[in-house]
């Protein structure tokens, strides 16, 4: 990546373990497609709904040459499952983008 990874936590406390997990996942994306310009990850836990638990929402914004790949609203009550699903979706979109080139 040409710019440093940006990680933002909203409505949850900062976690070093979660930060390290996100950095590891982002590094794997960089191995899939080496021309990633930027990567921004937002982890948030919005207010609790009456009938549901408190799902985590993951937003990933990847800057690639000539385009931008966005993964949004991957929700799950387990933050690690939500991250896995979001990064899997980002990986699929990156692979599709690489095939188009």
What's the CATH code of the domain at 53? 3.30.160.100
Residue 86 placed within a domain: no
| Residue 88 maps to a domain | no
Q: Is the per-residue pLDDT at 51 higher than 60?
A: no
Q: Give the separation between CA 86 and CA 61, rounded to whole angstroms.
A: 11
Question: Domain range for residue 19?
Answer: 6-77+96-100
Question: What size, in residues, is the chain?
Answer: 101
Distance CA 12, CA 56 (A): 10
Q: What is the pLDDT of residue 99?
A: 92
Question: Is pLDDT at 73 greater than 80 in this prediction?
Answer: no
38 falls in which pLDDT band (50, 70, 90)? Answer: very high
In a domain, 89, yes or no: no
Q: What is the mean pLDDT of residues 48-67?
A: 83
For residue 24, tell me if it sits in a domain. yes
Task: Say how many domains are in the chain.
Answer: 1
Predicted confidence band at 54 (pLDDT cuts at 50, 70, 90)?
Answer: confident
Residue 82 counted as domain residue: no
Res 48 pLDDT > 70? no
Residue 87 counted as domain residue:
no
Contact call for residues 60 and 86 (beta carbons, < 8 A): yes
Q: Are 27 and 39 in contact (CB under 8 A)?
A: no
Kindly report the pTM of this predicted structure: 0.89
């Amino acid at each position: 990546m040409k710019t440093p990874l940006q990680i933002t936590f909203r409505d949850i406390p900062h976690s070093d373990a979660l930060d390290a997990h996100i950095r590891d996942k982002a590094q794997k994306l960089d191995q899939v497609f080496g021309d990633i310009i930027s990567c921004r990850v937002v982890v948030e836990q919005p207010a609790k709904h009456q009938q549901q638990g408190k799902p985590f929402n993951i937003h990933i914004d990847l800057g690639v040459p000539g385009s931008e790949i966005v993964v949004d609203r991957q929700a799950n009550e387990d933050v690690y499952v939500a991250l896995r699903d979001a990064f899997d979706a980002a990986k699929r979109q990156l692979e599709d983008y690489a095939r188009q080139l």
